[in-house]
Structure 1
Amino acid sequence: MRLTIITPDKPVFDGDATSVTVPGSGGAFEVLENHAPIVSTLEDGKIIIRTGKSEEIINIIGGVVEVIHNKITVLAEGIKEK
């Protein structure tokens, strides 16, 4: 699957992932390959990106996510820097 994470300031991530967990407004949910199309609002929280054996965590400040045809697009309001 292809994941793109964008903020108003800059692109944050653009790459392939085997699974992605996002902080949905109704609770966190995981997206796997061939997931049904969905659009959801996001709360502040962690996006967990899994690619094979590695895992990356990006802390976002709200936003929306769209999943369609194995493409995940996250429009985040901002990123919480470490």
Structure 2
Amino acid sequence: MYLEIITPDKKVFEGEVISAQFPGINGGFEVLNNHAPLISALANGPVRVTPPAGAQLVFQIDGGVVEVLDNKIIVLAEAVIA
């Protein structure tokens, strides 16, 4: 599954992932391979990404929107807080 995390200023992350967890406005949710199509608003909170090799990555976002379609995830975040 391919993931992109984008802010108005830059592309924060792009690459293959096994899973991604998001802070939805109505509660957290996880996206795995072959997930059904989805568009959701995101709250402030952590996006947890598990790449094929290596440790889990965490990006603290300041709200945004996520789209899941055909094993591609695009996150349009207001900001990513370092």
TM-score range for the pair, normalised by the shorter chain length: over 0.9
CA distance in 2, matches of 1:54, 1:35: 22
Deviation readout 1:43-82 (Å, 9 max, x if unpaired): 000000001352000000000000000000000000111x
Task: State the alpha-carbon separation in 2 of the partners of residues 80 and 15 from structure 1.
Answer: 20
Taking structure 2 as the reference length, what is the TM-score of the superposition? 0.96
RMSD across aligned positions (CA): 0.7
Percent identity, please: 49
| Aligned pairs (5 A) from 1:31-50 | 31-50=31-50
**Count of residues in Structure 1 that have an aligned counterpart in Structure 2:** 81
TM-score (norm: length of structure 1): 0.96
Hey, what's the Cα distance between the residues in 1 that align with 2:14 and 2:31? Answer: 16
In the TM superposition, residue 16 of structure 1 has moved relative to its aligned partner by 0.4
Q: Which runs of 5+ in 2 are unaligned?
A: none
Query: Which amino acid in the other structure matches residue 72 of structure 2?
Result: K
Return 5+ residue gaps in structure 1 as ranges: none
Superposition misfits of 4+ residues, deviation over 6 angstroms: none
